[in-house]
Amino acid sequence: MMDTTDYYRQLGLRLGASLEAVKTSYRQLARQYHPDVNPGNEVARDKFMAITEAYKFLLTIAKPEAELEPVTASKKTVTSGSKVPQYQPTKVKITPKSPPIQFNPELTKEEQKIKENSYLELQQLLKYKRFPRAIALIEGLAQRIPHDPEIRQWQAISYQRWGRKLITEKQVDKARNYLKKALKTDPHNRALWAEVERDFRQLEKIY
């Protein structure tokens, strides 16, 4: 499942970059990959769509520079000659603890509440591998709130989880269909692509 880090990466930014940085990076990349500048170039078109999706999402969560937490002296500093530790992002997973629900200002209070309640129910359904019910729940939510990127992520991961379960049951065609639906639902999710590729390799072993 795609996490917030992936959206920042689409814009060439590290996790937690400021709102100003998000806007600046998007303007630069949009000028580079805009379809008008690259007529007939499908790679550039797909990149433009990906950075635009990331930009719209990050506008809802990125904080202005003035609101970011300053680096204090109590925090560990990097001395001269030492290596800068690589940031290891925590993957967002659907678990019973600490649901990573993002606030979407475009939703009404009622829609936000429906989203939160549906997420909690989805957690339980996936935990107990009740995949058909989980998919029915998330598809209904996606129809009611069609433009929320986080809901699209949940929908894609539900498809992928069900596809993986179908592989263990040797329902090859059905598994393949759900894995493809996962990628179609959230096509720019690199973490999801990695999981689905693993599933397809497992499918090949069945033949």
CATH code of residue 51 = 1.10.287.110
> Looking at the domain assignment, is residue 84 inside a domain?
no
> Looking at the domain assignment, is residue 88 inside a domain?
no
Question: What is the reported pLDDT for 4?
Answer: 76
> Looking at the domain assignment, is residue 13 inside a domain?
yes
In this structure, are 195 and 117 located in the same domain?
A: yes
Residues whose CB is less than 8 angstroms from the CB of residue 140 and which lie 6 or more positions away in sequence, other chains included: none
In this structure, are 120 and 201 located in the same domain?
A: yes
Q: What CA–CA distance (Å, rounded) separates 100 from 95?
A: 9
In this structure, are 35 and 119 located in the same domain?
A: no
> Looking at the domain assignment, is residue 72 inside a domain?
no
Question: What is the reported pLDDT for 100?
Answer: 53
Question: What is the reported pLDDT for 79?
Answer: 41
Q: What CA–CA distance (Å, rounded) separates 30 from 66?
A: 25
Question: What is the reported pLDDT for 15?
Answer: 83
19-62: per-residue pLDDT in tens? Answer: 999 999 999 999 988 988 888 888 888 889 888 888 888 888 88
Question: What is the reported pLDDT for 106?
Answer: 83
Residues of the chain with pLDDT under 70: 1-3, 69-100, 207
> Looking at the domain assignment, is residue 98 inside a domain?
no
Question: What is the reported pLDDT for 81?
Answer: 44
| Domain end (from 26, 44, 62) | 62
Domain interval for residue 12 = 4-62
- What is the total count of domains within the chain? 2
In this structure, are 55 and 115 located in the same domain?
A: no
In this structure, are 199 and 115 located in the same domain?
A: yes
For the chain, the maximum distance between any two Cα atoms, rounded to a whole number of angstroms, is 59
Cβ atoms within 10 Å, residue 92: 19
Question: What is the reported pLDDT for 177?
Answer: 94
> Looking at the domain assignment, is residue 42 inside a domain?
yes
Q: What CA–CA distance (Å, rounded) separates 100 from 4?
A: 10
Pull the structure tokens for residue 164. Answer: 């993986």
